[in-house]
Structures are given as C-alpha cells and as structure tokens.
Amino acid sequence: MEDRPNILFILTDDLAYADIAMMPNLQRLLVATGTSFDHYYASYAACCPSRASLLRGQYAHNTGVKNNSGVNGGYAAALANKIENSTVATWLHDAGYRTGYIGKYLNGYPEGQSPTYIPPGWDQWYSAVAGTPYNEYNYTLNENGQLVEYGSGLSDYGTDVYIGKAESFIATAASSTQPFFLHLNLYPPHQPAIPSEQDKNLFPNAQVPRTPSFNEPDISDKPAWVRNLPLLNATKIASGDKLYADRLRTLQAVDRGIERLITTLEVRNVLANTYIVFSSDNGFHIGQHRLWPPTKVTAYEVDIHLPLIIRGPNVKPSAKVSALVGDIDIAPTLATLAGVTPPSFVDGRSFASLLGNTKLVWPRRSYLLHHWRVQPLNNPLTWIDHIMLALDPAPDFHGIRTDRYTYVYYPATAERELYDNVADPEQLTNLAATRPDLVAPLHWAFAKLLGCKAEKCRTVENQPIF
C-alpha cells in the first residue's frame, strides 16, 4: 500500500457528549491514544443537516438541507441542491482512494431515486432503503446495487452487521495498493434505542444525570417556547431514565465494534497508517431545561456540543485541543489528511495542523448556529407530520458559539438568549436582558455570518467580536 494514510470515519447518531464516558473501549483505544477536541460543535443540531455539512464542508444555508424532512429538508433537499456531485467521497475517490460507505445515510434516502441508487464517489455502498433500521432489526440494505433483507435474528442486529461489513472492507482494502476512506455510520444511540440481546440488562440503575439544568426549576428568563414548558412529572422522568439507560446499552455494541475494527486494522498491518475519527451528527437532550420530548435541534450545549476524537499518524496521544471547530470542518480536514485540496465552495477549514500541534494558535472566533423548524409537505397534516413537529419544538433561530458565549436570536419574536458558558456551563442564566454590552457585538457578529459563503465565512469567523 502506498504512503498516503487510510481514513476510518465512525459517526454515531444523537450521541450526547457525556455518554462517551460509558464506552471503555473508546476511552482506551481512541481517547488515550488520540486527540480529543473539547470545543467541537454541530452548526445545526439535527441529523440530515449535520450529515450534509459533514459531507460537503458547508453550513446548512449553503447545502440547502435545512431539516430532516419537509420543505427544504431530508434527502429530497440534498437531491434538489445536487450536493452529492461534490463531497468528501468524490474528492478522495478522484484522488485515487478506495471509498466505502456503510450504515445510515441522509434522512429519507433513497426518496426520488431507485432503491439500488448509489451516490457518486463511493466504491462500496451498504445503506438501508426500507424497513426499520433504527430498530436494528427488519430492514433492507442496498448492498452495492443489490437489495438484501435482514430479519429479527440475533445475527441481524444492525450495528453488528455494519461493523462486520466494515471489517470486510478493511480486510480487502488492506491488501490493495490504494489507500482507503471508509465512512461507517451507526444508528446508536438514536431512538428507539433497542440494545442487542447481550446488552439489554446492563445499567439497571442508570438515570439521566440530575444536573442543575435537568427539569430546570426556574425558566422565567428563557424564550417563550421554553417558558411554556411544564415541570417534568414522574412519568416523564421515568420514561427519560429508561431511554437514557437504553441509549447506553446500545452504545456497548458500538464500543465493541471499535475494538473489533482496531484489531482488524492491526492484524492487517495498516493501523499505524490509518486515521480513525469518531464523532456524532448532533447531541441530545432528555429533560434538560424541561425540554420534552427527548430530541435535539436546539442551540443549548447539550444538543450542539459533540465528542470528536482522532487517532492516527503523528497524532498526539491523550491530548486535548481547545480550538473552536465544527462539523463544516470535517470534510476539509479529511481532504487535507489525504493530501487533497478541497473545492473553493467549502465554508469550513482544515484543522489537521492541530493534530500535530495541539497548542497552535487558532484564528476562529465564532461559529454559526442555526435552525429552521420543519415545514410539513402535507395539508392536512398526517400523524407522522405531528410527530415530526413534536420532535422539532424550537422555532427558527440563528446565533453563534464563541469560545465562551452562546448567543441565539429568534427572528419571529425578536427574543434572545445569551449564556456565559465558562461561568454558567449549565446555561441556567440568560444574560440577554442584563448584558447589552455583550448582546450588541455578538448580534453583529452572527448577522455578518448569515448567508456567508466559502472564504467569506472563514474571514468573518476570524474577526474579533469584542
């Protein structure tokens, strides 16, 4: 195999930052041997917009994927905006990489296409096109253009199936002269969070951490859509605790998979020349700030702050990086690691230089946050539309995350939120009404980022705010 490095990018679904503490193999084999990014954020805390940003290196206002479904959302929006024509897959494929995609793709795939459709840039393709893949059983995969059904047997458990296919991909690729890029997308711990048989009785006493923001007693300073939320009752709290425990249980299959994949890389003598990237598309809340039902999409830290861990050639072990980075940076970073120059349309920037020098001065001062509430296509609304609306409770907003502050503006009501994440990491005290000296420059900073494209985004992000 040539000298260019291999890349294994493992992406989970709805993984909260704190949950990785319950993954011992990840801690031992990635955190202890790699570099963790302590300020890595989703610019849009929802599956499809985030995944589009990961593939393209663009904010959602440039990918055109503005929700998981509905108007301007889901795979239909990705198709309409033709984002698949140029992604990190096509960049690396065109540069001579063997590419593989396994697991969850953009929400709604393959709507508008044949079930055997494979997006550009992928040499190997295994992704669900029918059934109930979120349940881990009874689903149909498009396997390189062939439809293969999986049932309800123990061997059909989705996470194990995807990891097995990843092992096979690595085994084949390792014997080739081509470097490889494998993007493995696992469903845990996304709802309904169904664990494998061997894990279903783990964590019998687990409960949502009772942090100060959980079932927050005083939300009088929050925007109206939060102020209207009642305190969680005992039934909701018990339901949240069960979901939390099930989420941890599903992550154990992911954790075993990490060990299996690293063992495969080692046995095939390619571990030393492989970058392993681990992250999630967005975070998740279960009752923090009284938010219910459990979901994501807000600008609160629990939804936007994500784990990002990377190990590989010349990456510092057991190191931490405090630089402000985000999902739009992943594609250009992977391109840089592969020796490829990303296209000029990319909004993000490569942070590959931080892997070898964790103390390098990083110029970004702000990172754009945004959300557009789902707009159902049906009139009248269907029961599925009502579920989607319940899982997308936040109104439209825009804002920014800096190294210290989170500032959010709701255009429909002109309400604002401002949190000092150093003094108030639980985001209990909204400073928007009492700190106009902070609101004015932060509002100006985010307003300049709205609608930015490519280099303009990076230029504005680098500008001092105060």
pLDDT at 164: 99
DSSP annotation of 449 reads H
pLDDT at 389: 87
- CA atoms within 13 A of residue 460's CA, in its CB half-sphere: 20
The pLDDT tens digits for 113-124 are 999 999 999 999
pLDDT at 388: 84
The pLDDT tens digits for 35-57 are 999 999 999 999 999 999 999 99
pLDDT at 391: 86
Given a cut of 60, whether residue 293 has pLDDT beyond it is: yes
pLDDT at 387: 84
Kindly give the pairing relationship between strand 180-185 and strand 6-12: parallel
Helix (H) or strand (E) holding 447: helix 436-449
DSSP annotation of 31 reads I
The Cα–Cα gap between 85 and 72 comes to: 18
| pLDDT classification of 466: cutoffs 50, 70, 90 | very high
How many CB atoms are closer than 10 A to CB 3?
8
Task: Name the catalytic one among 47, 48, 452, 457.
Answer: 47
What domains can you pick out in the chain, each with its CATH number?
Answer: 6-355 (3.40.720.10)
pLDDT at 192: 98
The pLDDT tens digits for 396-424 are 999 999 999 999 999 999 999 999 999 99
pLDDT at 390: 86
The pLDDT tens digits for 356-366 are 888 899 999 99
DSSP annotation of 230 reads P
The Cα–Cα gap between 316 and 355 comes to: 7
Q: Is 47 a catalytic residue?
A: yes
Helix (H) or strand (E) holding 37: strand 35-37
Kindly give the pairing relationship between strand 405-410 and strand 415-420: antiparallel
| pLDDT classification of 384: cutoffs 50, 70, 90 | confident
- Whether pTM > 0.75 for this model: the answer is yes
The pLDDT tens digits for 158-209 are 999 999 999 999 999 999 999 999 999 999 999 999 999 999 999 999 999 9
Mean pLDDT value of segment 228-252: 99
Return the percentage of the chain with pLDDT > 90, whole number.
94
Q: Which of 29 and 70 is assigned the larger pLDDT?
A: 29
Residues forming beta bridges with residue 306, ordered by sequence position = none
Window from 77-86, 290-299, 329-338, 372-381 with minimum mean pLDDT: 372-381
Helix axes 330-337, 47-56, angle to 10 degrees: 30
Given a cut of 80, whether residue 2 has pLDDT beyond it is: no
Mean pLDDT value of segment 388-403: 93
pLDDT at 386: 85
